[in-house]
Amino acid sequence: MARGGSSGLSRIETSWDVSPATLDLLQGPASIVNLMGQAEWARDLAKQLLAKPLPRRWAHTQGVAACAETLAPILGEESDLLTSSAWLHDIGYSPELVDTGFHPLDGARYLRDVHQADDNLTRLVAHHSCAVYEATERGLLNALNEEFDQESPELVEALTYCDMTTSPDGLPLEVLDRLAEIHSRYGPEHLVSRSIANATPCITSAVRAVQAVLRQE
């Protein structure tokens, strides 16, 4: 899996017991990323893009990633992918990479074009939290669907569950309270509020589906 580009990881930060000489034999930062695991790379990249310019968005992101980690028992091997997507789902808000202003598409394009990120990861970011509804409002539905296929429903629902049950400050929140919070934050006339209204059945059914699986655990 290609996860090229800079991870922002220094030798001092790595917890791996690897000597400097061994590191010199590796093929640059991408190899270190491969040793780290995708979620750690994703966390460092999200922190780099969000923590300073958008501290509240960074707090939310940390809460979404914490939620994703709690789903490991029901996701098994796909847990690392979900947690990675949770770290990266909102990087499209970063001033460094805003392009269209539609954050799922901007974030996914950045991951694909700058970091040659894993296709599964870019698809999750592109379609997170029923993004097709806001894409429709923005006239970007064709671009979104042509560039990024849908990921498996289980992972899409899991990411939506985590995003839509985490407050802007990173705290757990009931999905209906989260939806109401978005409406009040943007105001009734805003494109995002219209999109969220149309996406509400998609979002709530994803959240309920994950909650149903969790209850069986």
114 CB burial (10 A radius; 0-12, 13-18, 19+): middle
Of 9 and 162, the one with the shorter C-beta distance to Fe ion is 162
Please identify, using beta-carbon distances, which residue of 36 and 125 lies nearer to Fe ion: 125
Give me the least distance between CB of 193 and Fe ion, in Å please: 16
Neighbours of 59 (CB within 10 A): 18
CB 161 to Fe ion: min, Å: 12
Is the distance from CB of 125 to CB of 89 less than 8 angstroms? yes
Q: How far is the CB of 138 from Fe ion (least distance, A)?
A: 17
Closest by CA to 192, choosing from 201, 180, 182, is: 182
CA distances from 205 to 8, 11, 13, 130 (A): 37, 44, 41, 11
CB of residue 22 vs Fe ion: minimum separation in angstroms? 38
CB of 86 to Fe ion, least distance (A): 9
Question: Which C-beta is closer to Fe ion: that of 91 or that of 140?
Answer: 91
- What type of residue is 101? G
| CB contact set of 13 (below 8 Å; sequence gap of 6+) | none
Positions that interact with Fe ion (CB under 5 A)? 90, 163
Assess contact for 212 and 143: CB atoms under 8 A: no
Q: Which residue is nearest to Fe ion (CB)?
A: 163
User: Residue 213 is encoded by which pair of tokens?
Assistant: 């699986």
Q: Which is nearer to Fe ion, 90 or 157 (CB)?
A: 90
Looking at the Cβ atoms of 36 and 161, the one nearer to Fe ion is 161
